[in-house]
Structure 1
Amino acid sequence: MSEGKDWAKNICLPSALLSGALSIMHPPLYAAGLQAREKLDAWSRENSPAMQDALEHWLTVYTNLSMMSNWQTPLHQDPQSRSDWYDLLATVSEYDNCFLHIPTLRVQLEYRPGTIIAFSGRLLRHGVIEEGGDWCCLAYYMWDNIHNWLGVPRPDPMRFHKVWDELAKIWV
C-alpha cells in the first residue's frame, strides 16, 4: 500500500466523525457532499480505476482535504467554496501559542490541539499564527466547481432553526 493510501486509511475514522458532525451542523451541505461522493464514486468506477482505488478510504463527504503543518497561514479567504458552506478545521499534535484570526468578526481564537471549528472560509477572512511546537491542521472543504461538474445541486443555506429541528428529531 502506498504512503498516501496508508495516510488516508489512518484518518478514515476522524474523517467519518467530522462528516457526522457536519450532518448536524449543516444537514443540507452534508447531503450535497454525500451526493457528490456517490457520483464521484460512480464516475471513477467507469473512468478512473486509480481514483476508485483512492476513494476506498475516503470516508468524508468533503471533496477536498489539505494538511498544514508547522507554518503560519496568512489572512485569506477561500474563493473556490461558497459563502454559505462550512469548511471544517481540526487541529492535532502538540504545540503552544497558536491562534486563529478572523478579523471580519474581530476575534482571535486560541487554537489548541484538538480544536475543531466550522465556518465559511469564503465569507470570513482567516489566518493562523503559530509560535512554537509541532502544529498540524486538517482542513476539510468543498469546491463549488466539483459539485457543478458532478451535477450536484447547491444545498439550501443553513439556518439555526434547521439545526434545532434536526436535534429535536434525535431527542424525541
Structure 2
Amino acid sequence: MRYFPRFAVLVAVVAGLLWWAPWRDRIDALMTADDLRLHRVDGYRLAYPESWQVRSGTNQDGLGYVEFNGPATSDGAHSGQVRVVRQDAWGHRLQDKLAQFRVAASATGRDVTRDEPVSVQGAQAAHRFDMVTRETTPKGVSVRLHETEMFVLSDEAMLLDITARAPLEGTEPDWLPRVLESLRVDRQGWFLLR
C-alpha cells in the first residue's frame, strides 16, 4: 500500500510529459512531410504546402476561417487553395449539414463525383464530397476546378468545413491527399498545454 503514492506520482509525471508542448511539437514534425507546414489551433491541426500564403478572416455568416493559397496560375486561379471554416457549438447532427450541402450542390449544378464518410483522427464523424465546379478568375477567365469539401464534427460539437480546390487537369492534385490526411481533431480546452 505504501508504493501506491509513488506509483501515482510516476503515472502523473509520465502523462504530463506526453502532453508537454515540446514533445507534441516533435511528434507533429515527424508526422509532417518536409514540404508541408503544420497549422495548429485549439481544436484541430492541418498541414499545408510550405510555399503557400496563409490568411484568415470572417465569412458572410460571421464564422471565422483560415485560408491557405497556392501561387496564382497564368489565368489568375490559385494553383491550389484550402479553406477551413470553423463553427463552435454546432447544435445539430452531421447528417443535417450533409443534407443541406447535397441540396445546395444540386441546386447550383455541381457535379458530385464522390460522396462518402471518411475517418479523421479525433473526430466523432466526417464526410467527404468531391466535385467539379467552375469559377471565373480575377482575370475574367472561366476555369474548371477539382473541389473537395469535407465536413468534420468533433466530440465538443465543433463543425469544420474544409474546402480544397485546384484547377482541373484530369487528376486530383498531388498535395490534396496529403493535406486532407494530415487533418487531426484535438480536444479543446485551457488545460491542454501548447
Fold-level match, TM-score > 0.5? Answer: no
Query: Which structure has more strand as a fraction of its residues?
Result: 2
> Which is greater in Rg?
2
Q: TM-score, normalised by structure 1?
A: 0.28
